[in-house]
Amino acid sequence: MQGKSLYTILLSIIAVLTLALAVMIIFIFTAFNTNRAIPSSGETPKPLVERVVPKEEQVEFKLYGETNEAIFNIKSTETHPNSFLMASISIIYDGGKKNKQVEERKELLNKNLSLLKQACIKYFMSQSYEDLNGEEAMDKARASLKDAFNEIVRTDDSDEAIIIDVVFDKWIRQ
C-alpha cells in the first residue's frame, strides 16, 4: 500500500513540473521574441525613397537657432594644428504633400536636435583643414550630413527621405 501511494505522489510531482516547464517555455517564446526586436546581422535597412518636392512644400529648419552659427573643431594637422570651422547649417525638409506634415516633421527634427548636432560635430571632427579647403568639400559635407540626418530622423513605418538638402549659409575655416 505504501509503495502505490508513493508512486502516485511521484507521478503527480512529475506532471506538475512538466506542466510548469511547458508554461514557462510558452511564456519565454511569446514575451521575449527576439526576432522582431533585433534584426539579423545580414539584413540591411531598406533604402530611403526620395520624392520630387515642389518649392512650396520645402521647409527650412535652422539647426543652431536664430543666429544659426556653430564653431566646430576640426582634425589637427602639422600645418594647421588648432583649426576650426565656423558654419551656419540649415536643413531643408519635406513638409509632406500640400504641407500636411510640416508640424509633425518639425517636431521630429526638434526631438532629434541633439543627435543632429552630434552628427555635425562627428563629421567635422573627422575632417582636416585641407579636406575642408577643397573645391568639393562643401558638396561632400552636404551629402554626408544629408545621409546622416535622414538616418537619424528615419521612422520604422516609413522609408521616405525627409531631409531634402543641407545648406551652408556660412563656411569660414580658420
- Per-position pLDDT tens, the chain of length 174: 566 788 888 889 999 999 898 888 887 877 765 544 444 445 555 666 777 778 888 889 898 888 888 888 888 888 888 888 898 999 998 888 888 888 888 888 889 899 999 999 999 898 888 888 878 889 999 999 999 998 888 876 677 888 889 998 888 888
Nearest of 89, 92, 96, 109 to residue 154 by alpha carbon = 109
Cβ–Cβ under 8 Å, residues 105 and 95: yes
pLDDT at 52: 76
Question: Of the candidates 100, 98, 94, 97, which has an alpha carbon nearest to the alpha carbon of residue 154?
Answer: 94
Which positions ≥6 away from 150 have C-beta within 8 Å? 48, 161, 162, 163
C-alpha cell at 99: 504641407
Q: Of 153, 151, 41, 174, nearest to 108 (Cα)? A: 153
pLDDT at position 32 is 65
* pTM for this predicted structure: 0.67
